[in-house]
Structure 1
Amino acid sequence: MKNDLSALGNFAPTRRQLLGLGLVAAGAAALNVIPGFELLASAQAAVPAAAQKIADHFSSVKSMSGEFVQFGPKGEQTGGKFFLERPGKIRFNYDGASNFRVISDGKSVVILNKKLNTSDLYPLSKTPLKLLLDDRIDLSGDRVKSVKEEDDLTTIKLADKSVFGNAMITMMFDPKTYDLRQWTITDAQGKDTTVMIFNTKEGVSFAADTFAIDYTANRELNTKTR
C-alpha cells in the first residue's frame, strides 16, 4: 500500500468511511493481513511476550499528535491531522472543503460534518476505538484473536463482542521501536477501513477544548432535523 499524499486532494469521506476510524460499522480496502495469522489456540493461550511488551509500550504513550491517511473500500484516500490523549480522547481533523471532524472526549464520539450541518453521536464504550484509547491495551482473556510476528511488523488482532459486536481492530506496530504504524477496523461484513499514521510526536500538550463535544448543539441540531 503506497502512502501517496498527492492522491488525497479534496476527497470528502463518506459517513461509512468515517466510521472506519473506530466506530460501530467500518468500510474497506483489503490489506490481506488476515491470511497467515497464527490464531491463538484458545482464550487461555499465552499472549506472546513481544506482543504484550509492544501493547504496554503503546499504552504508556499518554499523548500524541500527527498526520493520518485513511484508505476506503474502493481505494479512496483522505487524510488530515490527529490528536490523541489517554484515556479515551482523540480528534481527527480531515483535510479538504468538507471540514469533517471526529472527536472523542472519553465518553462519546461525535462525527461533525459542518458542510452538511450534521452531528452524529456514539458511545465510546461501544466502539473499537475504546481498545485503542484505554489507559492500558488489554490483551487478556479472549480479546486477542491472532498475533503475527515478522521482522518488520508485529500485528495484533483484537475483538470484544461486548464492546462492538462482530467488529474487530487490527493494530500494526514496528517491532523495534514499538511505534504504532496503522490500524484496520473490520466490520461485521468483513470489510476493512485502514488508518495509517505518520509524522507523529509524543508527549504533546493540547488546548483545553481540543477534545470538547458540544452536547447542547448536538441535541439541538438533531432535534431540528427530525
Structure 2
Amino acid sequence: MSRPMTRRHLIAALPAVALAPALWPAMARAQAIPLAEIAAYLNRLQTATGGFTQINADGSISTGTIFLKRPGRIRFEYDDGSALVVAGGGQVAVFDRRSNQGPERFPLRETPLSIILAERVDLSQAGMVTGHVSDGTTTTVTMQDPQNPGYGSIRLVFTGSPVELRQWIVTDQSGSETTVVLHDLQTGVQIGDRPFNIQAEMAAWNR
C-alpha cells in the first residue's frame, strides 16, 4: 500500500537522496549549474506531469503520477489508489484510504514545497539557499524558507544541458528523509484547475 506524503514529510524539513547517476542517460561531467540558471528554469516551469517514485525513510517505495501547475498547485496520485496529496488554494490535503477521518489539511506555506511553487522563485534571498554543490554530474541545491527555517528544507537535484529537475529530498527535523524521484517529466502541458481543487476532491474521494 502506498504511503502518502504526510504533514511530517512535507513540513518538518521538506520535494531526494541522490540516486545512482546510472538511472539517467550518460552525461558529461560538469561544474555546478549556476543558481541564476536554476531559478530561471524553475520560473519557466509553469506546468508539468510525469511519473514519480517515492522512497520513504523506512525503505518502502511507492510510485505514482505527479501534476504541477505553478503557482501554488501540485498533485501526487499514487498508483494503487490508496492515497492522494493535493495542494491548491494555499492548502495541502493528504487523502489516505486507511483513515476513517477526512483528509489531513495544513497551509502550503508551512511546507518547503511552497518555495518551488511560489509565483516567482528568487534564490538570491538571504538565507534561502543553504547548499549548492555538484558531484560533476548533478547539481544539488538545498533551500529553506529564510523567514521560517523550522518548516524544513528541500534539496533539489538537477542535471544540466539543458537544466532539468530530477528529484528532491525532504528531510524532517529528526533527520528522516523522504525522496521523490521524477521520471518522464513533460513540461508545458495543458492542465486544468480541477486536479488541484481540494473541496471537489473531498466530495469525490469516498464515492
TM score, norm. by length of structure 1: 0.74
Q: Tell me how far apart the structure 2 counterparts of residues 49 and 106 of structure 1 sit (CA, whole Å).
A: 32
Bigger drift between 82-91 and 204-213 goes to 204-213
Give 1:25's aligned residue.
12
Give 1:13's aligned residue.
3
Q: How does 1:15-164 map to 2 (within 5 A)?
A: 16=6, 19-20=8-9, 23-25=10-12, 50-98=34-82, 100-117=83-100, 118-139=102-123, 140-160=125-145, 162-163=147-148
Kindly indicate whether the alpha-carbon contact (under 8 Å) linking 1:105 and 1:212 is maintained by their aligned counterparts in 2: yes
Q: Could you give the per-residue CA deviations for residues 98-150 of structure 1, whole angstroms, max 9, x where no partner exists? A: 2x110011410000123534311010111111012112222121111110023
Which residue type is aligned with residue 40 of structure 2?
Answer: D
Cα pair distance change 1:57/1:49, threshold 3 Å: same
Cα deviation, residue 53, structure 1: 0.9
Q: Tell me how far apart the structure 2 counterparts of residues 164 and 211 of structure 1 sit (CA, whole Å).
A: 26
Unaligned 5+ segments in structure 2 are: 20-31
Kindly indicate whether the alpha-carbon contact (under 8 Å) linking 2:115 and 2:145 is maintained by their aligned counterparts in 1: no
Percentage identity across aligned positions? 30
Cα pair distance change 1:150/1:179, threshold 3 Å: same
Q: Tell me how far apart the structure 2 counterparts of residues 180 and 70 of structure 1 sit (CA, whole Å).
A: 15
Give the alignment partner of residue 179 of structure 1, picking from 148, 151, 164.
164
Q: Tell me how far apart the structure 1 counterparts of residues 71 and 144 of structure 2 sit (CA, whole Å).
A: 19
Aligned to 1:66, the other structure's residue is in SS state strand
Which residue type is aligned with residue 12 of structure 2?
Answer: A
Kindly indicate whether the alpha-carbon contact (under 8 Å) linking 2:73 and 2:87 is maintained by their aligned counterparts in 1: yes
Q: After the TM superposition, which parts of structure 1 deviate over 6 Å for at least 4 consecutive aligned residues?
A: none
Structure 1 or 2, whichever has the larger Rg, is 1
TM score, norm. by length of structure 2: 0.80
Cα deviation, residue 196, structure 1: 0.5
Kindly indicate whether the alpha-carbon contact (under 8 Å) linking 1:82 and 1:90 is maintained by their aligned counterparts in 2: yes
Cα pair distance change 1:145/1:72, threshold 3 Å: same
Aligned to 1:110, the other structure's residue is in SS state strand
Kindly indicate whether the alpha-carbon contact (under 8 Å) linking 2:52 and 2:182 is maintained by their aligned counterparts in 1: yes
Bigger drift between 187-196 and 134-143 goes to 134-143
Unaligned 5+ segments in structure 1 are: 1-10, 33-47, 222-226
Kindly indicate whether the alpha-carbon contact (under 8 Å) linking 2:13 and 2:154 is maintained by their aligned counterparts in 1: no
Give 2:175's aligned residue.
190
Kindly indicate whether the alpha-carbon contact (under 8 Å) linking 2:71 and 2:118 is maintained by their aligned counterparts in 1: yes
What is the alpha-carbon root mean square deviation over aligned residues? 2.7
Q: Tell me how far apart the structure 2 counterparts of residues 26 and 146 of structure 1 sit (CA, whole Å).
A: 14
Q: Tell me how far apart the structure 2 counterparts of residues 214 and 60 of structure 1 sit (CA, whole Å).
A: 28
Which residue type is aligned with residue 2 of structure 2?
Answer: A
Q: Tell me how far apart the structure 2 counterparts of residues 65 and 51 of structure 1 sit (CA, whole Å).
A: 24
Q: Tell me how far apart the structure 1 counterparts of residues 40 and 189 of structure 2 sit (CA, whole Å).
A: 19
Which residue type is aligned with residue 131 of structure 1?
Answer: I
